[in-house]
Amino acid sequence: MSFQAGQKIRVIVVDDEDLSRQILREFLSAHSEIEIVTECANGFEIVKAAAELKPDLIFLDIQMPKLDGFEVVELLGQDVAVIFVTAYDSYAIRAFEVHAIDYLLKPVSSVRFEAALERAKERLAGKLPATPLPPMELAAAARPPSRYLDRIPVREGTSVFIIPIAKLDYAEAQDDYVALFSAGKTHLKQQTLASLEASLDPSRFLRIHRSYIVNLERVAKVEPYGKDTYVAVLSTGAQLPVSRAGHSRLREFLGR
């Protein structure tokens, strides 16, 4: 995206504390080229507002009700520039790994704020390169090492679904998306199966096929299907193809 002169930068300020939004509002009010399109107080609100209002720049708190800042970035993707604002310095590395434009620490100084805003404008004007990595890879980088997901947020239109990891039956690769099957419903998420696999606990989830990851707790039985191929029957009744490599991995896990 690039900006023509005279065009206003659409900004959303997100923080669950009124006073934190207030100070950002005050700093932003000095800039006539900025338009605050709305303010949000939690993760769900910003995902909905971003889908409806298409902001250029978001000032984002990290610890908020419903969804935290990193989950919000994961759902919004890279169409929007993000500046994190938080009291915690421990997220800084991860914030830059998800290619946040800047990371402001509370209490926010106006000098740091102006510098961050300047960087944001450069990025929006196309002077700074957009992030080279797709958002899911960024979100995976944002996860602390050795910790696996315990829930998967999924955006559908303006609403957000949270799939607790124990409720995920299996995942299927569908072009640029993965289809997540949970509790009789299917949710589509823009992500590669490989990056999903990397974020799941390998003692609970197994890649049984090029296109399938299964929750091991759901596997009821494994039956031969054709020459060198098998089919896994889940307790939900679903039948998934199992590749030869997937079958040997599965056998290892099921101890047969």
Residue type, 59: F
Could you tell me which stretch among 57-65, 191-199, 208-216, 246-254 binds other proteins (CB under 8 A)?
Answer: 57-65
Among 11, 14, 55, 68, contact with other proteins (rule: CB under 8 A): 68
The answer to the question of residue 19 lying near other proteins (CB under 8 A) is yes
| Number of amino acids touching other proteins (CB under 8 A) | 32
Residue whose entry in the numeric block shows the structure tokens 């049984």: 208
Binding flag, residue 70, other proteins (CB under 8 A): yes
Q: Is residue 106 at the binding interface for other proteins, with CB under 8 A as the rule?
A: yes
Instruction: Determine, following the binding rule CB under 8 A, whether residue 88 of this chain makes contact with other proteins.
Output: yes
Contacting other proteins (CB under 8 A), which of 11, 28, 34, 41? 41
By CB under 8 A, residue 74 contacts other proteins? no
d(CA 242, CA 208): 5
CB of 200 to other proteins, least distance (A): 15
What's the min distance (Å) between Cβ of 19 and other proteins? 4
**Rounded to an integer, what distance in angstroms lies between the CA atom of residue 109 and that of residue 85?**
11
Q: Please report whether residue 108 would count as binding other proteins according to CB under 8 A.
A: yes
Under the binding rule (CB under 8 A), the answer on residue 42 touching other proteins is yes
CB of 82 to other proteins, least distance (A): 16
Which position among 2, 4, 32, 90 is part of the footprint of other proteins (CB under 8 A)?
Answer: 90
Told to check if 16 binds other proteins by CB under 8 A, we report yes
Residues that bind other proteins (CB under 8 A): 16-20, 22-23, 26, 41-43, 62-68, 70-71, 87-88, 90-91, 105-108, 144, 150-151, 162
